[in-house]
Amino acid sequence: MASGRESVHVGRDGWLFLTGGSNRVMDRYRGGLRHWLLLRGWARLIETRARRAESLGIRCLHVIVPEKLSVYDDKVEGLRYAPAKASTRRLARRLARHPAYLDLLAPLRAGRDGPVPLYLRTDTHWTIQGCLLAYREIMRALGAIPPADIGARPQVVSEEVMDLGEKLRDSPRERLDRLMLQRDAKRVEVGPMLAAYEAQGRDREAHVGAHVVYRNEAEAADPRRLVLFGDSCAHFDPFLLTGLLAESFREVHFVWSASLDWHYIERVRPDILLFELAERFLARLPKDDFDVTVSGQRGTGGRVAQMKAAAAQ
């Protein structure tokens, strides 16, 4: 059934699903020429990025984090939509043999009935278990070995109102488990926008343009340098995908952006270029004209509201 507020569907057993927002989530499950053209544009963009990265001697890999609607359609109930038409499913078919695309929908659906949910019931994001599953798939694709204890790091548990729960009148709380992943990796650089937010105690409000670099001197760390362009499923704080990768590779750069900054990539010259994006953000095809330096300067002035709007659901 629909909630008292727009954009949230209440499914079985208190599972909440984002259905609207500025990215029109339900459009990710519709057919038609417009959607076909959009997905063709994404496929061509991924292929173009891979060729450019290869010309620089860089391994390129894209992952799209499926919406809960794509993974947990068995929890939805009462919402008419076509999960078989999910953008992640169709993009995976288009790029099935391309080394620059890694399908996360299939392994997440295969693991959805395990003892621990892969997504939060009252939030749009995956749990640490879902993130760990995706991380292991990424590591396998990159020919890298995860630290043996990565899933057994110290854990912090809290009860919080999550991003979908806060849209309901009763504001349900949910148990949130977080692994304290950071042990070997150290943050050695932070962009000025994120630094400004942190100085004001407002780092939770930082979104597009946030930029950090982690360095890992552990002997067992994979010696390669990795640049990750991603969103809140990766995050700049080391408790999700960025943290897992920082504990695994010698150096990890995270930039919160769906658009690549090729000048930054060419300057850093990573061994691996990884791109992560939530499925709902496939609504817009990026132009790859992002500028890490300029976006960081905006965060210290009057453009913060604009960047927050760009990261809105």
Choice between 301 and 230, residue whose per-residue pLDDT is larger: 230
Q: How many CB atoms are closer than 10 A to CB 70? A: 23
138-159 average pLDDT score: 95
Residue 3 belongs to some domain of the structure: no
Count structural domains, the chain: 1
Q: How far apart are CA 254 and CA 60, in angstroms?
A: 15
Residue 275 belongs to some domain of the structure: yes
90-116 average pLDDT score: 96
Q: Which residue has the tokens 């270029």?
A: 273
Over 59-87, what HEC string results?
A: EEEEEEECCHHHHCHHHCCCCCCCHHHCH
88-104 average pLDDT score: 96
Residue 1 belongs to some domain of the structure: no
Residues sharing a CB contact under 8 Å with residue 73, sequence separation 6 or more, in sequence order: 83
Q: pLDDT tens for residues 19-49?
A: 988 888 998 898 889 999 999 999 999 999 9
Domain that holds residue 61: 8-310
Nearest to 68 by CA among 3, 128, 22, 18: 18
DSSP annotation of 252: E
Q: How far apart are CA 133 and CA 118, in angstroms?
A: 8
Q: pLDDT tens for residues 223-268?
A: 999 999 999 999 999 999 999 999 999 999 999 999 999 999 999 9
Residue 83 belongs to some domain of the structure: yes
Residue 291: what are its φ and ψ, rounded to 5°? -130, 105
pLDDT for 118 beyond 90: yes
